[in-house]
Amino acid sequence: MSPILSPIILYAGLALGALGVALAMPRRGLNPQMIGALVAGIAVGAVLIALAVVGLRAGEGLPGAFFYVFALIGLGSALRVITHQRPVYAALYFVLTIIASAGLFLLLAAEFMTFALVIIYAGAILITYLFVIMLATEAPTEETLEALSEYDAVSREPIAATVVGFALLGALSGMLAFGVPGLPGPEGASPAQGLARLPGKVRAFVEGLGVADEVAPAAFLPDRLAGPLTSPERVEEYNTWRRSHSQIILTSAGGEGTVGLVQLVPLDPGSFKARYEASLTDPDDEAGLPSALMDRIAEIPGLPAYFEDSVTGLATLTVALPEALAPTNIETVGLALVGEHPLSLELAGVILLLAMVGAVVLARKQTEVEEERKALAAHRLGLGVEGGAS
Amino acid sequence: MSDPTTMLLAASAGAPDSSVAWLLQVPLLPLLACLLCGLFRAWGVTSKLPGYTTVLLLAVAFVVTLSGYLSFGGHGAQVVHGFDWLRVSWGDGPGETLSAGFSLYIDSLTWLWMLFVTGLATLIALYSTEYMAEDQKTGGYARYFSFFSLFVFMMSCLVMSDNLLLLYLGWEGVGLCSYLLIGYHYTKPSAVAAAKKAFIVNRVGDLGLALGLMLTFVHFGTLEYREIFARLAEIQAVVEAGGSAPWQVELIPLLLMVGAFGKSAQLPLYVWLPDAMEGPTPVSALIHAATMVTAGVYLVARFLPMFALSPAALGTVAWVGAGTALLAATIGMAQYDIKRVMAYSTVSQLGYMFLGLGVLTATGAAYHVFTHAFFKATLFLACGAVMHGFAGQLDLRRLSGLAKVPGWRVTAVAMLVGCLCLAGFVGTSGFFSKDMILAEAFVTPGPGYRLLGWIGLATAGLTAYYAFRVYFRVFHGPVEFHAGEEHHGDDGHDDHGHGFHPHAPGWAINLVLIALVIGSLAAAAPYFIDKEHHGWVGGLVHSSTAGEIVRASAGHGEAAAHAGEAAAAEHGGFFGDPHRWMFLASSVVGAIGILLAWVIHMTGRVSADRAPIADALKARLRPWSTLAEKKWLVDELYDALIRRPLRLLAHILALIDQALVDGLVDGVGFAPRLFGKSLRPSQNGLLQNYAVGMGGGLVFILLVVWALS
Amino acid sequence: MTALLAQASAFGSVTLYHYLFVSAALFALGVIGFLSRRNLIIMFLCTELMFQGAGLALIAFGRHWMNPTGQVFVIFVLTIAAAEAALALGLVVYLYRRKSTLDAQAWAELAG
């Protein structure tokens, strides 16, 4: 794998970034935070521009403009989070970081996560942080309105921390840029597979096509249902019979077919086609598919239909599904979450419950202890007074 | 009388005889006594039960030994198999199986030793029941008898074992019991020091024995006597045919000899024995005079066939024996502590025994062991009676004329008889046994053996002098005594001196003393029983392995000695028969010694510590008298030559240990601590610091992944 | 919407790498802030920044591979962030009441 980025540019950028971050860290005396932030911004920008140039060379224009915007906002506000001397501002900058990364999530087609992030992080967690910051800060007086706590104003060994952090970043980005062979990814998955797990969706579509109606074996229609459907009762009765005799069961490719099935065959990545197989065999009758029905199906207009294996009466109908039928992000995530990781979901719930219980205990205990101590002290005091008196 | 040779060989080849398994009682009864006394101690028995139990069981052991001896007649060898104690095999070939059974090898040498060991142990245990009575309440009484019985068990193992490993067990076991009993008064620092000294000095000797044992196994592939003796007979045949013995066979006796020197207190390892007198006197009598210290003599006698093949070892044994005899006698002359005099006399007499072995008269050595066991036990127990009665007083300058004190007649007679035997007075048991050794020293060819004879003769004179020095000073002369430092709580006496009433020995002590006096005198009788082999003991030795090889060995031993006698007889005259010559010579020398003691220590003596001639002589002979009194500074010499260099070495090693080893070890601990100390600031509790580590680690992992991919 | 769908796997000239770079930069800024700021609340805000970076990367990857799991992950991240915010801010208030300061250094005594 050839390097996608010149190592000189990358490491020079990282070194510059490290310098900038180190300068930006809060310290006593001369505090060139702005210069540091500028230097760091230039460095990150240089690296990102270098990456964009790579994209340009590939001749694909600059379609990822939003990416660069969000990335710069996110990284810049992250720098402010770690360098701002006032915790409240740091928390607010963190909100900005979150919103920026939510934008990146959106670019990555993770719409659900985008909104979850904004709601949970920015909406819930960060508010908690702000509350705690306010709880755990000395109430300002007239004189100390602008005073900063020592531990906020001065960072601890900023250079060492920067070196460690950028060493980590260097290792990570070096691995990214110059490639790590021998780490194969998982098999590619297509939206068709996700769709195969949404039978209702496909069924609705297929039924919407009217195929089921057409395919419905009218030949097996009982005598009492023959004839024109004159009354609503008859229509209802007819529909009930039709549903019970025209099952569409969707399974993923290669699944065991039953009475009828829709196979979604990924013909090409961008489009879907469903193969609709309907067994028109009456479960009670082994006589096979009547030729009359065959003819009837063949006359269905507008459908690229074909029937084969007339002996067993297995009819296969390949239907092209529209792209719009592809599962949405929420559907995919939901399926993955509930279908593939049910145990983890349960565990996450348990953890949340425990955290809640823990928070409650933590909150209760300290007050109780203090009250008990006060009661005890009062008791002792009383005893001492009594002892002194007697 | 059947030919002992064939009997011995037949027995050697025969399988263990299970019909005589009851002989196992001999070692096991003392063991039972030991366990029972241990239980009594645990149960807190404060009566004399442990003592009487021990006496009873030891007496039964003696009776068993005696009946065993009478029913087997003391000829040939028998093996009584108890159980397989140890059997390690790492192959099928010869010498690849180490087996040692708890088995008894019974021949006449064993009988001789076991008879006096069990007999004397019984008598001395009886004596101890009274002697140790003061310790009944503290529980030391049961402990004492437990150790005492254990000693007899270990001694039985040593003497009766049929293999070297069981002998080694007994050897170490008696050493342990000796240690325990010397340190019986474990609150007394001098006793503890003496116990440690005995144990440590014995380690030197035991190292030699252990090496000899290993070399024996390596060379012979077995530790069992029967097989070793069978192999020795082959080697001897080779030597007789003009060949030479393998170097191992010449080396093993030297190693065994080192062990024997340690256990039997010979130069240069004798220093522990005088100090061992810190133990209770009965212990001194049994272990450190009569039995344990003769274990070395037993070992050499048992392996005399092997020694006979190693002229170097034999010569060393003879010279060391004579040297020890002379040195110990000179020290004994100048000591004031009567128990210490007896201790040095023991060392000296043991020297005689080794001299006897060295000049290949196992008979003489064994007979001297036998007689010495009786008269030295008598002497010690008499000393013990004095010590017991005079609150631990042992200084002959503070005791005088005891024979005239009522109740001490038996003790005085026992002392007299013991001294006579020790001095080798005509007709006493010591006279015959000592003469046998001295006479053989004069006639046996060997490196300077004739000189050894003269040394022995001179030592006999010194022996007579110091024995009677003690007797005359303590039991005769003006009546005067001072109590020792051990007060008897129940006597209620204040300080020593006026008002002190010695308590005369009771029935148990007197009974034992009388028995031992009779035994000491009667020990002369065996000399006349079996005239063919120089007495009964000679007969026993003759039919044992020792006599076997000695007789067969050409160029050495009594056979040659007899040849020499015959040659000497041809010259005719009085000096023809060395034994007759020696009877006269030693009588005269002994008499001179006794006379000198009389003159020096009796004439003109007015008080316990003033004998004009002795004091004058002492002043005249300075500095030699002082040196002898200070034991020729041997202890100081050892201190300077061995202990101080060792201590210096230990200090140096300790320094090395502290500086180098500890430094290394501390360094091992220090490095991580330094590392941790340098890392500690990173753990300052600041959240961000940890986060820096996390971030750095993440970067590192990313870079590694990147570099690897 | 339709136009977006038409870009199904290609982002036009803005490739996956652009998004990943931005997400990495957000994450790194969060790290820097977390390491250097001393105010406990700002430190938590910085962790939220890091969440944003991670979430952006997840969604970009999901889009790239046409896999909704990426978005599902972000839902969980949001959930955890909400839980964390509730607890952590509760703790911050508690700590502030104890020491009347929001300085992280004031709690260095918790060093192990």
Q: Is residue C1 part of a domain?
A: no
| Mean pLDDT, residues A49-60 taken together | 65
Give the per-residue pLDDT at A192. 56
CB–CB contact B695 C31 (8 Å): yes
User: What is the rounded distance in angstroms from the CA atom of residue B507 to the CA atom of residue B487?
Assistant: 21
Q: What is the mean pLDDT of chain B?
A: 82
| Mean pLDDT, residues A60-76 taken together | 78
User: What is the rounded distance in angstroms from the CA atom of residue B634 to the CA atom of residue B646?
Assistant: 17
User: What is the rounded distance in angstroms from the CA atom of residue A342 to the CA atom of residue A346?
Assistant: 6
User: What is the rounded distance in angstroms from the CA atom of residue A278 to the CA atom of residue A212?
Assistant: 9
User: What is the rounded distance in angstroms from the CA atom of residue A261 to the CA atom of residue A8?
Assistant: 58
Encode pLDDT of A2-35 as tens digits. Answer: 456 677 888 888 888 888 888 888 877 777 778 8
| Mean pLDDT, residues B341-350 taken together | 91
Binned at pLDDT 50, 70 and 90, residue B585 comes out as: confident
Q: Which of A164, A171, A181 sits opposite B703 (nearest CB)?
A: A171
Burial pattern B604-617, b for ≥16 Cβ within 10 A else e, equals: ebeebbebeebeee
CA dihedral B263, B265, B269, B274 (to 10 degrees): 120
Binned at pLDDT 50, 70 and 90, residue B361 comes out as: confident
A52 closest CA partner among A19, A16, A9, A18 = A9
Encode pLDDT of B525-535 as tens digits. Answer: 888 876 666 67
Other Cβ atoms within 10 Å of A68 Cβ, number? 18
CB–CB contact C46 A82 (8 Å): yes
Q: Is residue C87 part of a domain?
A: yes
Q: Which of A186, A326, A329 sits opposite C65 (nearest CB)?
A: A186
Q: Which of B234-238, B483-487, C71-75 has the lowest mean pLDDT?
A: B483-487
Tell me the shortest Cα–Cα distance from C112 to chain A, in angstroms.
21
**Sole residue written with tokens 């909400």:** C82
Q: What is the mean pLDDT of chain A?
A: 69
Residues of C in contact with A150 (CB under 8 A): 103
Residue B124 · residue B513 · CB < 8 Å: no
For residue B174, the SS3 value is: helix
Q: Does residue C2 surpass a pLDDT of 70?
A: no
Q: Which of B180-189, B652-661, B681-690 has the lowest mean pLDDT?
A: B681-690
For residue B106, the SS3 value is: strand
Domain that holds residue C91: 15-110
Binned at pLDDT 50, 70 and 90, residue C28 comes out as: very high
CB pairs under 8 A between B and C: 27
Q: How many domains does chain C have?
A: 1
Higher pLDDT, B208 or B632: B208
Backbone angles phi, psi at B337, to 5 degrees: -80, 120
CB–CB contact A4 C15 (8 Å): yes
Instruction: For residue B580, give every residue at least 6 positions away whose Cβ sits within 8 Å of its Cβ, in sequence order, or none.
Output: B574
For residue B78, the SS3 value is: strand
Among A2, A94, A108, A198, pick the best mutation site for testing chain C contact (most C Cβ within 10 A).
A108
Distance in Å from the first CA to the final CA of chain A: 92
Per-residue H/E/C for chain A: CCCCCCHHHHHHHHHHHHHHHHHHCCCCCCCCHHHHHHHHHHHHHHHHHHHHHHHHHCCCCCCCHHHHHHHHHHHHHHHHHHHCCCHHHHHHHHHHHHHHHHHHHHHCCCHHHHHHHHHHHHHHHHHHHHHHHHHCCCCCCCCCCCCCCHHHHCCCCHHHHHHHHHHHHHHHHHHHHHCCCCCCCCCCCCHHHHHHCCHHHHHHHHHHHCHHHHHCCHHHCCHHHCCCCCCHHHHHHHHHHHHHHCCCEECCCCCCCCCEEEEEEEEECCEEEEEEEEECCCCCCCCCCCHHHHHHHHCCCCCCECCCCCCCCEEEEEEEECHHHCCCHHHHHHHHHHHHCHHHHHHHHHHHHHHHHHHHHHHHHHHHHHHHHHHHHHHHHHHHHHHHHC
User: What is the rounded distance in angstroms from the CA atom of residue A149 to the CA atom of residue A151?
Assistant: 5
User: What is the rounded distance in angstroms from the CA atom of residue B553 to the CA atom of residue B314?
Assistant: 13
pTM of the shown model: 0.59
Residue B504 · residue B408 · CB < 8 Å: yes
User: What is the rounded distance in angstroms from the CA atom of residue B649 to the CA atom of residue B629?
Assistant: 31
Give the per-residue pLDDT at A58. 58
Residue B177 · residue B150 · CB < 8 Å: yes
Q: Does residue C56 surpass a pLDDT of 90?
A: yes
Q: Would you tell me the crossing angle of helices B612-620 and B578-602 to the nearest 10 degrees?
A: 110
CB–CB contact B688 C36 (8 Å): yes
| Mean pLDDT, residues B323-327 taken together | 91
Q: Is residue C8 part of a domain?
A: no
Is the CB of C104 inside 8 Å of chain B's CB atoms? yes
Q: Which of A29-38, A236-245, B26-35, B281-290 has the highest mean pLDDT?
A: B26-35
Q: Does residue B498 surpass a pLDDT of 50?
A: no
Q: Is A2 exposed, middle or buried (CB count within 10 Å of its CB: 0-12, 13-18, 19+)?
A: exposed
CB–CB contact B706 A167 (8 Å): no
Residue B33 · residue B53 · CB < 8 Å: yes
Q: Does residue A264 surpass a pLDDT of 50?
A: no
Please name the chains neighbouring C, where neighbouring means 3+ C-beta pairs under 8 angstroms. Answer: A, B
Which pairing describes strands A314-321 and B399-400: parallel, antiparallel, or unpaired? unpaired
Is the CB of B655 inside 8 Å of chain C's CB atoms? no
CB pairs under 8 A between A and B: 32
Give the per-residue pLDDT at A374. 75
Tell me the shortest Cα–Cα distance from B674 to chain A, in angstroms.
26
Give the per-residue pLDDT at A284. 43
B597 closest CA partner among B364, B411, B396 = B396
The CA distances from residue B205 to B209, B260, B264, B354, C83, in Å, are 7, 7, 10, 15, 84
User: What is the rounded distance in angstroms from the CA atom of residue B406 to the CA atom of residue A329?
Assistant: 131
Query: Which CATH number do you get for residue C65?
Result: 1.10.287.3510
Encode pLDDT of B223-242 as tens digits. Answer: 888 888 888 888 888 888 88
Encode pLDDT of B125-139 as tens digits. Answer: 998 988 888 888 887
Residues of B in contact with C112 (CB under 8 A): 683, 685
Q: Which of A301-315, B9-23, B407-421 has the lowest mean pLDDT?
A: A301-315
Burial pattern A223-260, b for ≥16 Cβ within 10 A else e, equals: eeeeeeeeeeeeeeebeebbeebbebbbbeeeeeeeeb
Q: Which of C17, C36, C49 sits opposite A4 (nearest CB)?
A: C17
Q: Which of A230-239, A371-380, B294-303, B683-692 has the lowest mean pLDDT?
A: A230-239
Q: Does residue B589 surpass a pLDDT of 50?
A: yes
Element (H, E) at B457: helix B449-475
Residue type at position A144: T
Q: Is residue C19 part of a domain?
A: yes
User: What is the rounded distance in angstroms from the CA atom of residue A193 to the CA atom of residue A326?
Assistant: 10
CB–CB contact B687 C43 (8 Å): yes
Is the CB of A181 inside 8 Å of chain B's CB atoms? yes
Residue B548 · residue B378 · CB < 8 Å: no
Q: Is residue C39 part of a domain?
A: yes
Q: What does R_g of chain A's alpha carbons equal in angstroms? A: 34
Q: Does residue B466 surpass a pLDDT of 70?
A: yes
Q: Is residue C61 part of a domain?
A: yes
Among B702, B703, B708, pick the best mutation site for testing chain A contact (most A Cβ within 10 A).
B702
The CA distances from residue C49 to A67, B426, C24, C85, in Å, are 18, 121, 11, 13
CB–CB contact A164 B696 (8 Å): yes
Give the per-residue pLDDT at B500. 67
The CA distances from residue B454 to A301, B489, B563, B675, in Å, are 153, 51, 21, 78
The widest CA-to-CA distance across chain C, in whole angstroms, is 58
Q: Which of A80-84, A220-224, B43-47, C78-82 has the lowest mean pLDDT?
A: A220-224
Residues of B in contact with C110 (CB under 8 A): 685
Is the CB of B685 inside 8 Å of chain C's CB atoms? yes
Residue B248 · residue B215 · CB < 8 Å: yes
Encode pLDDT of B156-175 as tens digits. Answer: 999 999 889 999 999 999 99
Give the per-residue pLDDT at A114. 92
Tell me the shortest Cα–Cα distance from A379 to chain C, in angstroms.
23
- Percent of residues, chain B, with pLDDT higher than 70: 89
Q: Is residue C6 part of a domain?
A: no
Reported as half-sphere exposure (CB side, CA atoms, 13 A), residue B538 has a value of: 22
| Mean pLDDT, residues A224-232 taken together | 66
**Sole residue written with tokens 């090409």:** A268
**Sole residue written with tokens 């270098």:** A50
Binned at pLDDT 50, 70 and 90, residue A217 comes out as: very low
Residue B468 · residue B611 · CB < 8 Å: no
Encode pLDDT of B594-604 as tens digits. Answer: 888 888 888 77
Among C2, C42, C46, pick the best mutation site for testing chain A contact (most A Cβ within 10 A).
C42
Residue type at position A66: F
Higher pLDDT, B587 or B626: B587
Higher pLDDT, C72 or A187: C72
Which pairing describes strands A314-321 and A271-279: parallel, antiparallel, or unpaired? antiparallel
CB–CB contact C111 B684 (8 Å): yes
Among C1, C19, C32, C94, pick the best mutation site for testing chain A contact (most A Cβ within 10 A).
C32
Tell me the shortest Cα–Cα distance from A164 to chain B, in angstroms.
6
| Mean pLDDT, residues B62-77 taken together | 81
Q: Does residue B499 surpass a pLDDT of 60?
A: no
Give the per-residue pLDDT at B541. 78
Is the CB of C11 inside 8 Å of chain B's CB atoms? no
Give the per-residue pLDDT at B564. 44
Give the per-residue pLDDT at B175. 92
Is the CB of C109 inside 8 Å of chain B's CB atoms? yes
Alpha carbon A160 to chain centroid, angstroms:
35
The CA distances from residue B701 to B694, B705, C25, in Å, are 10, 6, 18
A262 closest CA partner among A245, A277, A246 = A277
Please name the chains neighbouring B, where neighbouring means 3+ C-beta pairs under 8 angstroms. Answer: A, C
Q: Which residues face A316 on adjacent strands?
A: A277
Edge-to-edge order in the sheet of strand A314-321? A249-250, A260-268, A271-279, A314-321
Tell me the shortest Cα–Cα distance from B701 to chain C, in angstroms.
16
For residue B80, the SS3 value is: strand
CB–CB contact A161 B702 (8 Å): no
Is the CB of A168 inside 8 Å of chain B's CB atoms? yes
Give the per-residue pLDDT at B492. 41
For residue B395, the SS3 value is: strand
User: What is the rounded distance in angstroms from the CA atom of residue C92 to the CA atom of residue B667?
Assistant: 46
CB–CB contact A175 B706 (8 Å): yes
User: What is the rounded distance in angstroms from the CA atom of residue A322 to the CA atom of residue A320?
Assistant: 7
Binned at pLDDT 50, 70 and 90, residue B10 comes out as: very low
Asked if the peptide bond before residue A63 counts as cis, ω within 30 degrees of 0, the response is: no
- The ipTM assigned to this model is 0.88
Q: Which of B688, B706, B709 sits opposite A171 (nearest CB)?
A: B706
Q: Is B699 exposed, middle or buried (CB count within 10 Å of its CB: 0-12, 13-18, 19+)?
A: buried
| Mean pLDDT, residues C43-54 taken together | 92
Alpha carbon B184 to chain centroid, angstroms:
18
Q: Does residue B612 surpass a pLDDT of 50?
A: yes
Backbone angles phi, psi at A229, to 5 degrees: -90, 95
CB–CB contact A180 B698 (8 Å): no
Q: Is residue C54 part of a domain?
A: yes
